[in-house]
């Protein structure tokens, strides 16, 4: 996220990780910087979310913003996914929240720091093609196609 003018922020995503969960988390993380850090003499954030081991509280805040915006903490706290990474629970919570199952699967993987589980649900290879196709549509980023479930 950077500014082309003091009141004109730009969010640019590299799509390095071609996954639906990563797309949404990264986008909401950057929006979190806008919401939380705008006006603090911020010139921009050039994030590498793969190496978020730093201690910058603004990064932690943007992560928390993204996490709660995608799955409200009250819903997460009640979910059996906190203790059992069951694909059926992923689909149930996604359906209840009206979001793509990839977002829920990504949260489970992040919380458990286990990126081998639920790998068929995070939407590998589903993002880059949407921005390069002749009729790009974000619809598939929000709801899974019938074949994805």
Smallest distance, Zn ion to C-beta of residue 13, A: 12
Total number of residues that touch Zn ion (CB under 5 A): 4
- Strand blocks (E) in the chain: 2-5, 8-10
Phi then psi for 4, rounded to 5 degrees? -90, -15
Q: Which residue has the tokens 């969960």?
A: 21
Task: State yes or no: residue 62 binds Zn ion (CB under 5 A).
Answer: yes
Query: How far apart, in whole angstroms, are the C-alpha atoms of residue 86 and residue 117?
Result: 10
Smallest distance, Zn ion to C-beta of residue 125, A: 25
Please state, in angstroms and as integers, the Cα–Cα distance from residue 57 to each residue in 10, 60, 129, following that order.
22, 5, 34
Task: State yes or no: residue 63 binds Zn ion (CB under 5 A).
Answer: no
Contacting residue, 22, 23, 25, 45, with Zn ion by CB under 5 A: 45
Nearer to Zn ion, 38 or 119 (CB): 38
Nearer to Zn ion, 37 or 140 (CB): 37
Smallest distance, Zn ion to C-beta of residue 61, A: 9
Token readout for 69 is 């915006």
Smallest distance, Zn ion to C-beta of residue 30, A: 7
Task: State yes or no: residue 1 binds Zn ion (CB under 5 A).
Answer: no
Task: State yes or no: residue 47 binds Zn ion (CB under 5 A).
Answer: yes
Query: How far apart, in whole angstroms, are the C-alpha atoms of residue 99 and residue 121?
Result: 13
- Pick the closest to residue 65 from 94, 96, 26, 123 (CA basis): 26
Smallest distance, Zn ion to C-beta of residue 33, A: 5
Interface contacts to Zn ion, rule CB under 5 A: 45, 47, 59, 62
């Amino acid at each position: 996220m950077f500014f082309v003018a003091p009141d004109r922020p730009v969010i640019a995503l590299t799509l390095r990780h071609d996954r639906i969960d990563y797309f949404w988390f990264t986008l909401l993380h950057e929006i979190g910087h806008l919401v939380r850090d705008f006006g603090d003499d911020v010139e921009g954030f050039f994030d590498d979310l793969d190496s978020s081991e730093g201690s910058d509280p603004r990064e932690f805040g943007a992560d928390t913003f993204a996490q709660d915006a995608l799955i409200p903490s009250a819903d997460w706290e009640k979910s059996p996914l906190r203790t059992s990474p069951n694909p059926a629970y992923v689909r149930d919570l996604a359906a209840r929240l009206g979001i793509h199952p990839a977002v829920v699967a990504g949260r489970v993987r992040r919380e458990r720091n286990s990126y081998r589980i639920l790998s068929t649900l995070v939407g590998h290879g589903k993002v880059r093609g949407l921005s390069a196709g002749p009729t790009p549509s974000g619809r598939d980023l929000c709801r899974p196609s019938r074949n994805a479930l």
